[in-house]
Each structure stands twice: as C-alpha cells, then as structure tokens.
Structure 1
Amino acid sequence: MGTAIALFTRDLRVTDNPMLTEAHSLGDDVIPLFIVDERLAVPPNRARFLRDCLIDLRGSLRELGGDLVVIRGDTEATLRRIGERAPVDTVVMAEDYSSYARTRRRRVERACAAIGASLRITDGTAIVPPGAATPTTGGDHYRVFTPYSRAWAAARWRKLVDAPRAISMPSGITGDDPDNVVGPVRAESPDIPEGGETQGRHRWEAWAERGVDYDSVHDDLAADDTTRLSPYIHFGCVSALELATDPRAPDALIRQLCWRDFFCQVLAANPRLTSAPYRFPEKDTWSHDPDALAAWQSGSTGVDIVDAGMRQLRTEGWMHNRARLITASYLTKVLDVDWRHGAAWFDRWLVDADVANNYGNWQWVAGTGNDPRPNRRFNLDRQARRFDPDGRYVARYLDRADDRSG
C-alpha cells in the first residue's frame, strides 16, 4: 500500500483520531508528521502547551513502534522534501476551518500534486462537522444556537475509532526533538497546565470520577469545578466526541461541546468572523480610550469581578467561562471599546484560544454576532452576587482578604 503521511494539526492524540487511523489503514508505512509552520506566530502560553503536547504525542507513537517527525518550516516545502526522500502515496489530515487552516490546506494540496500523492481529509475536529447539520428552511448553516442544538443532537455522529496497534515507519525519515523545534518556551503565565493527551485524559478521569454536579456548579466562579479541559480539546489532546459520548458527561457539559461546534459552523461559513461583524451591523464608532483598555488588560479597572477575571487570565492562561462573559461585556458595553481589541488580548493569553469560540463569543457579547438579543448587557453587581456571592473568587485573584463575612 506504500507510505502515508499522517499530518497532525489540532489533533494531537492517538486515541479516537480518525486521521491517524485512516493513514494507518492506507499505508504499509506511516510518517507521523507535525510541521511548526514558520508563517504562524504562536503566543508563548500556547507554544509552551504545544511543546508539551508534541513531547507526549511522540512518546505515545514510540510506544506503538513509530515516532513523531517534528519539523520547523514552510508546510508546502516540508512535504515536498519528505516526498523526495520517501515514496509517499497519500497525505491524510483532519479538516479545520479557520482562514489559516484553509490556506494550509491549499499548500498541502499543491505539495501533494508536486509529489504525486493523494490528499485525504478526515473529520475529527468537530463532533458534528460543519455542513452535517443544516437548516431545513434553507441556508448553509445555523445563525441561532437553539435550533442548531436540536439539529446537532439529532445528527448522525461518527463512531469512535481505536488507536492503531502498531505503526511502521520508513527508514531514513527523522525529525528533531519537539523541545528543540518548539522550545524550550517560557510561558507568559506562571500557572498554565501541562499539555498532552496523557494529562488531558488524566484530568478527565479524575474529574468524572469525582461525580461533580456540573449542571449546578459550572457557573460558580469560586467553586472552580469545571473540567478545565478546554486547552486539551483545543489542541485535540482529548477527543470532543469521546467526551460527549461518555455516560459520565453531564448534560451541561455536552451543551458546551455543542456550542463549540455551533461556532465552528459559523466560522466555516464566515471566515471573516475574526475581523468583521457577523450577523448584526456594527455601530458607527467605538470609543478610542487606550488608558481604559490598558486598565482592563491589567485587571486594574476598580471593578473587582472584572479585575479578578483579567488577573486569572494572566496568571493561568485560562479564565472561567462566566468571567469571560463578564469581562467581555464590561469592555464592550461599559467601556465601549471595540470587541476586536478584547478578542486579540484573549488570543494572546488563552491557552485554549480557539478561533471559532474566541471570536464567536466576543461577537456574541458585543452584539454583532449570534446573540438574538444584540443589546444584552450584564449587570456586573448582579453577576457578582449571583456567581461569587461570598467574594471568594475575587479574593483569590485580587490577593486580598475576604472581609465580607463581617
């Protein structure tokens, strides 16, 4: 059957990875490959997490008898060079939907044509890929979440796939160590988690076995009882489908995964989601206030619930979802600052900064996106009383004593 390249992108795992399974089925030999594309600037927090993911993935592939070839360079040129060294018949990679992913796919197509290989595209990024659930009334995607969620639940989901039992690689194909190619990288946030499939699966098992009442606590800021799996899902260390089909997954968590797919199909239909209003027209002007933006970024606005969220972001490279909504609403609806500034700041710091989710949610909050109530505005005092009634979340991140008890 020849040689297949398994081109990893945002699917850095061996368990339930349709791309890897397909490559294994098509080639006697498989070249597991990750290209650190020099055209793509990765912020330090995500670069550190990515390095961990690649080191872990390489270890898993070595246990199967293979290895992970990690190369820094241009995607098209790298594939051409490998094709000159080995008789590559097929390149397999998972579908993705950002503007960068679309450009990458075109480069991969050109490289395949140059080396005489076929290109196979698999699912694996989304549970329900864009286009698999479309409105019966017409159109190529859903603009409102509730009808989408019904179609998503009714759609036919693919079956989970096992990891290959063994991987054979052609001789003479090697790549540098991930630590040399990606790093060592110093993260900007001191408390970001360790990346990789091993850590992601361990976190899920530990959380699921605790039997957390997620439906009632996932908005509780101080409880900190969410799974914190979003970075692992973003990098594909953990299969979103495997989580959604796990009988221990609570309904509220499955709903969050549905939101992820919702924004994925929005991005697939609207590649300019990162820069232009999606559904509702933008107002004429935003306030230009560099000092207010800087205060928001540093967590020094004087509004405790906002400042706590922004300091959590810089400390952990992660922020509780409720805090994301609160801080985004404050920037856009109180300070009247352009949502693009906020989305770019999140993109710099968040380890889980998925293009579809980050920009889709920012547009939702700003009133230019999918929220059917574009003038929605959060009452910050009410949000604090409801989701941090004892002030423990604020105290934790503002590093001040909780004096509300007296």
Structure 2
Amino acid sequence: MSAEPTAIVLFTRDLRVHDNPALELACRSARRVVPLFVVHEGLGFATPNRRRFLHESLADLRENLRGRGGELIVRYGDPVVELLRLAGEVHAETIVLARDVSRYAQRRADRIARAAGRQRIRVRTVDSVTVAPPAALTPSGGGDHFRVFTPYWRAWSGHARRTVPAAPDRIEVPAGLRCGRLPPAGSPRAQLPTGGETAARRRMRSWLSGRLADYADRHDDLPGDATSRLSADLHFGTLSPLELTLAAERVGGDGAAAYVRQLCWRDFHAQVTYAFPDITRADYRPRGRDWRDDPDALDAWRSGWTGLPIVDAGMRQLAAEGFLHNRARLLVASFLTKQLGLHWAAGARHFFDQLVDGDIANNAGNWQWVAGTGNDTRPNRRFNLLRQAHRFDPDGAYVRRYVPELAGVAGASVHTPWRLDRPPAGYPAPLLDLDGDQGGQRR
C-alpha cells in the first residue's frame, strides 16, 4: 500500500452519492477513499421488509460508486471492529461518518472515536441525516432541546442551511481490496418499492412535479393516497432530507409549505431522541398511567381483526405494503392506546417490525405523541374513530381496498357494518362498542 492519504467513509443511514457530506469530505481531504458498509446482524435493518430495501439500496450504491471509479466495501460483524480492521489494512489516516441520534448510533460513534484514537486515526463527523443538526437548535429559555413542536418549527425555519455538496466525479479506491458480498435480500412479507438512490430520486422528481401541489388539501385523504411515499428513502438515506426540503421550497405554494412542515416534524423527533435516547422504552413524559394487559386484543389489532373497519384497513395496509398512511397511523395507534388501553411500546414494536421506513426517532416519537406520554401538549387527546373514518374515507373506498370481507358493503356503511340488518359474514364483531362513547367499551 502506498503512503498517499487514505480516508474511510462509513456509510450508515446515508446510502447515496448526492448530497453526502461524509463522502464529499473524504474525497476532498484524501487521495484514496474507501466507502464501507458494515452489516451488523440483529439491528433494525435485519427485519424482512427492510432487508430487501437495504439489499437493493446497497446494490444501487455500489453501482453508483463503481460508475465513479470507486467501490462499496461490505463487511460483516461489529462495525467498530470491522472499521478499525480495515483502517489498519489500508493505512487510513481518517475515518468519516455521519452523526445519528439513536442510543446505538451515539454509542457506536463514541466507540469509534475511542478505538481510532488509540491507533492515532482522525475521526471526522458530519451532519446529513436531518435538515438541521439535532443539537443545533435549543430553546432561548434554556434546555438542551425543544419539547414542543411549534417553537421548534419557528427556530428550524430560520436556521441557516448547510451547503449541498455535489456528487463526486471520481473516487479512487486502494487496489486489492475484497469488495465483499451484499447482504441477502431475503423474502419480504410485503409488496415493497424498489430500494436505492436511483429509484428514490426518480420518485422524488415525480412527487415534486406532480402531487406535491395538492398536498395541503389532500394529505389526509386515505383512499387518495396523496402522500409522497418517500419515508423509506429518507430513513435509509437514499434521499437527502435537506435536498428534498430545498427542492420542495423551490416549488413553493401551500402544498410545499405543508410538506416541508412534515419534514420539520422528522427533525423534531430526531432532536428529541438525541437528547432522550431512551424514547423507545421509557415514557418521555411519565403520566402515571396504568396500561392493560390483553394479549388477545393485541393479536386482533396486529392482525387487522378488531371489527372496526378503519383500524383493520390500516393494519392490513401495513402488513401488505410495509407502509401505512400517516392518518391511518394516528388512528390505529389511538385505538390501541386510548381505546384498548394497551401500552404504546407494544404498538411501536409491531410497527418497527413491519415498516420499511421503521425509523427509531419517528416511530417512538409518534407513538408516544399519540399515547400522551410524548410531546403532545394535549396528552388526553382522543380521536373519535368513527368520525375520523367518515371524514377521511367518506365513501369507504380505503376500507374496501384492504378489507375484502366488506367489499360488498355500499358507501359509508362500510365503517359500521355491525349496524347493518345483515352484517357481512366472515367479519368479526367489534372489540369495542363505539356507538355510544368514542372511548369505547370492551365487549
């Protein structure tokens, strides 16, 4: 190996070549660059739905790097051990990686810094998984993070954005390195979008030039499916959240403004998780609530077999697509925590197992928001599920799409099949009586 400066870029949740500050910094500061991804079995990437998306994203990243003369090196095992082993092999002087917010990511970064320090290797970290760095914005009155969204939104909107680097033209990788096999795609349980930056950028262009304009008016339209469906791309980093935000702002209009606000919610949950990494297992704001233990009800909810059509449709969409419309996420989460009284963590675990976009900060943050243990300023908020169903699926098209047992029920009656003179055969009676009280009574 020559003595030319060599840097390793550790890819984690930034599987792209466009607007990748870690890759740009490595290419700018070293003659030779080693792009590395370490497959750490047992992490969230290993669930069946995300495994397929990861495989395709890494395959696309490898091709994009090869098109620039580079290569994606893949190793298996503990990321710190494999990273430092490779650093010794190529005589790397620098390691570059993106900061992240989960407890695992923070500990990984600390371990890398300590291990690299013992070998006199410089570690440089960049921000790229969010629009604003998680620790960059703090309340003027004190505290290490914002606990309420609206003041965070104001601060986030005025925060100076970093420069977006161009994709590198050329990447020189040391000769003789074993590239390593990609992780297997496995057998996903759902119909999934194609993973990878190439497909993600195609989806982004289509979204920006098409349905974004109507987002403000239609984002809660359940049968219309008028959301971006870019959440998995943002989670895996096949799209840059900053590039997407800037592009939406350039389009302008009410739809873009509403969409950018949702991207800010993503950053909001990230900064909460960075400050409170126990968010996946502990109440952010303990309320002293007693949760019920009802395994049968939990199984019925997971299976989309509660007898409440709007909830069952949502849970079946989740199982079929590895994705769930945001309005449906709110409704099924409310039903589990507020109507059934089951612990939010049980729902969060199921979502994390099913969602291709299973993001630690967003998943746990949103579940705690609905449950009243998180950042909602109205912890006793309770959705009237029947009213929500009629409002956001007025003709029942969303329910009939995912609950075939109700395909023959006409119009909005599909939301209350138990009221029909002849309820559809093969569909269960509702777990709760929602006719008299939006809170519901267990049958």
The answer for unaligned runs of 5 or more in structure 2 is 414-443
C-alpha distance in structure 2 between counterparts of 1:38 and 1:90, whole Å: 26
- Is 1:243 paired with 2:260? no
- Is 1:38 paired with 2:44? no
Query: How far has the Cα of 1:248 moved from its partner?
Result: 2.3
- Could you tell me the percent identity over the aligned residues? 51
C-alpha distance in structure 2 between counterparts of 1:81 and 1:267, whole Å: 31
Structure 1 partner of 2:262: 256
- Cα 1:254–1:80 change in 2 (3 A) is same
Selected match of 2:18 from 15, 18, 27 = 15
Query: How far has the Cα of 1:401 moved from its partner?
Result: 2.1
Matches within 5 A, 1:126-275: 126-178=130-182, 182-189=183-190, 191-211=191-211, 212-246=213-247, 247-248=250-251, 250-275=256-281
Query: How far has the Cα of 1:132 moved from its partner?
Result: 1.4
Query: How far has the Cα of 1:40 moved from its partner?
Result: 2.6
Q: Is the 8 A contact 1:149 1:258 kept in 2?
A: yes
Q: Is the 8 A contact 2:51 2:185 kept in 1?
A: no
Structure 1 segments of 4+ aligned residues over 4 angstroms from their partners: none
- Cα 1:372–1:280 change in 2 (3 A) is farther
C-alpha distance in structure 2 between counterparts of 1:108 and 1:397, whole Å: 46
C-alpha distance in structure 1 between counterparts of 2:322 and 2:331, whole Å: 17
Query: How far has the Cα of 1:233 moved from its partner?
Result: 0.3
The TM-score with structure 1 as length reference comes to: 0.96
C-alpha distance in structure 2 between counterparts of 1:65 and 1:261, whole Å: 34
The answer for unaligned runs of 5 or more in structure 1 is none
- 1:65-121 per-residue CA deviation (whole Å, 9 max, x = no partner) reads 001001111112212221221110000000001011012112322331243210000
User: What is the identity, as a one-letter code, of the residue corresponding to 1:271?
Assistant: P
C-alpha distance in structure 2 between counterparts of 1:54 and 1:345, whole Å: 25
C-alpha distance in structure 1 between counterparts of 2:274 and 2:85, whole Å: 31
Secondary structure of 1:244's counterpart equals: helix
Q: Is the 8 A contact 1:76 1:110 kept in 2?
A: no
Q: Larger Rg: 1 or 2?
A: 2
User: What is the identity, as a one-letter code, of the residue corresponding to 1:369?
Assistant: G
C-alpha distance in structure 1 between counterparts of 2:200 and 2:296, whole Å: 38
- 1:335-393 per-residue CA deviation (whole Å, 9 max, x = no partner) reads 00000000000000001011110000000000000000000000001110111001110
Moved more, 38-47 or 219-228: 38-47
C-alpha distance in structure 2 between counterparts of 1:350 and 1:184, whole Å: 16
C-alpha distance in structure 2 between counterparts of 1:282 and 1:270, whole Å: 19
Structure 1 partner of 2:83: 79
Structure 2 partner of 1:367: 372
The TM-score with structure 2 as length reference comes to: 0.88
Secondary structure of 1:78's counterpart equals: helix
Q: Is the 8 A contact 2:56 2:185 kept in 1?
A: no
- Is 1:356 paired with 2:361? yes
- Cα 1:165–1:4 change in 2 (3 A) is same
Q: Which has the higher contact order (CA 8 A, sep 6+)?
A: 1
Moved more, 29-38 or 76-85: 76-85
User: What is the identity, as a one-letter code, of the residue corresponding to 2:339?
Assistant: V
